[in-house]
Structure 1
């Protein structure tokens, strides 16, 4: 038991140099990319299972045969559960009534984030998730960054038709995330535009009596401060901020923003990272209200590299906003 634990711990530590190698060799190779994603997840949970079995064995002596049987029963079931959580995004609905609500208007927003298009993206699964989104008949679609995982060059499938067949009344808009900046940023922007998506980089959009401020990602050290952008809006209108990283929620509260939509966190994706991410952000997932500022942080439409989710699912946020 101790030897197995030690060997698995070594494999777990080996993730770090392997991740470094991935930057050069794994991004464009489907086989190697899938191998690494599975390797990271499986190694983690074999490690945790060995700890659990060690604790149980301390109180109730288990034979090697029993431990092997438990491992071969528990792990496949657990991996199928985690893969199902990742596979097709579930719909999460929120009704938000803004404090002023003076216009007596309603708009339905579909919000997604962290699609992470790459060589590993399964077109069929992505289109099933987009179909679920379309069936909610949103008036507008907002995308909270990391649409591309690294570089447009890595994307093997043609997703132009997949996105262009969705035609909400007011269009599809996106902000950039940190992953777009990891690759060739200007070429990544061109690719996103080719999907029929308008990118907002520290820009203001006016739709049906709403201000929508799309912020450039925090990766860009020259991005404009929110206080500067709010000077350019009609203050009598409700304001939505679309920003990839939820670190900016504090800025939105200070500037009396009505609604902020973010992604980036993936809700930690799986244990123990969900606990770490929870401590990092004012809101790390889901709906939270701070004073008059409503916030929603998406767990992500897909995921980076690892095709599994624990205590988290791929999701589509449908927001019925009354203002």
Structure 2
């Protein structure tokens, strides 16, 4: 079994490298054709070296933990990726206009790229507040509860202290009763979090009923998950690792380890000893087991992971992969809410999505 998984992993890497190389070659070739025919550019060796450097930036950036190289690599990935859409269309226009206007068509493509990067940057770094109203038919002392949920911070070399500061301000402005963070707190490795002293900002996250979190897949990838839990606990954030806690002696908060952890406890075992007449809120990073959660009496399950695709047309893919890839979905008495995330993974850009925090106003009946 392990050998088969390893083989599939290697094949996936090879497929990615093949696609990435093809994308880079196609974009570079089309760029050379435009420069040569529109401006008479003749420095092919220099141009080839620049394209090669841009193509390798993401790999060198990851291997050296160089934030600037990672960012350059991510932007190149966006250039080459959207080139698969834009450049064939530009070629079609070139032939429709009988091989005239190549310079104007090229500048038109550049204008589209400027718009992509401008709007994408704004949507990534300008979080909004998304609000949902839900009703749970369980009798508790309080009539309502205001939850602030945020997922997928991906704190690291790209998303850092400044963006975290925006989150703290949103918590202070919205004044929730409780803050819930369902996973991907860290982007693979905790070293940048510690080096940049992001904990100084994160410990300012506060709510009357506490701050609770679970781990996401990226919290495991760097094998720093245990250290992440320890650091978050120091900052006053209780990380629930296949654990259950109770607030005000009447509302359960259940935290599941991410699906990356193959030894994680299943939902049935987590709730088997709980009083099902009390509200049960679950944090589960990946929205994979909604039917199981509904069957076991979970009232509210909070997830992230999908980023809602982050960059169009990624939302079309996440929509096919997940029953609920974004927003509120009700299944019987279960309310599933999936956030597009507060941070970003890979390029610090969003198209068709926004960086967000989620306010959930719960009414108890």
Give TM-score, length-normalised by structure 2.
0.80
Measured in 1, the distance between the counterparts of 2:349 and 2:133 equals 29
Q: For the Cα contact (< 8 Å) 1:211–1:234, is it kept in 2? A: no
Pairwise CA RMSD of aligned residues? Answer: 2.5
What SS is found at the alignment partner of 2:277?
coil
Residue 53 of structure 1 deviates from its aligned partner by 2.1
Measured in 1, the distance between the counterparts of 2:243 and 2:160 equals 32
Q: Of 179, 203, 211, which aligns to 1:172?
A: 211
Measured in 2, the distance between the counterparts of 1:145 and 1:21 equals 26
Q: For the Cα contact (< 8 Å) 1:90–1:315, is it kept in 2? A: yes
What does residue 150 of structure 2 align with? 112
What SS is found at the alignment partner of 1:229?
helix
Which runs of structure 2 are paired with 1:83-162 in the superposition (5 Å)?
Answer: 83-100=121-138, 103=141, 105-155=143-193, 156-162=195-201
Q: Residues 310 and 165 of structure 1: is their aligned pair in 2 closer, same or farther, counting only changes over 3 Å?
A: same
What SS is found at the alignment partner of 1:310?
coil
Q: Residues 225 and 19 of structure 1: is their aligned pair in 2 closer, same or farther, counting only changes over 3 Å?
A: farther
Q: Of 145, 163, 188, which aligns to 2:228?
A: 188
Measured in 1, the distance between the counterparts of 2:127 and 2:219 equals 22
What SS is found at the alignment partner of 1:97?
strand
* Long gaps (5+) in structure 1: none
Q: Of 193, 196, 200, which aligns to 2:240?
A: 200
Measured in 2, the distance between the counterparts of 1:220 and 1:318 equals 28
Matched, 1:8 2:30: no
The structure number with the bigger radius of gyration is 2
* Long gaps (5+) in structure 2: 1-22, 31-51
Q: Residues 260 and 58 of structure 1: is their aligned pair in 2 closer, same or farther, counting only changes over 3 Å?
A: farther
Instruction: Flag the structure with higher helix content.
Output: 2
Aligned residues: 316
Which has the bigger relative contact order, CA under 8 A and spacing at least 6? Answer: 1
Q: Of 94, 104, 108, which aligns to 1:70?
A: 108
What SS is found at the alignment partner of 2:196?
coil
Q: Residues 181 and 317 of structure 1: is their aligned pair in 2 closer, same or farther, counting only changes over 3 Å?
A: same
What SS is found at the alignment partner of 1:246?
coil
Residue 130 of structure 1 deviates from its aligned partner by 2.4
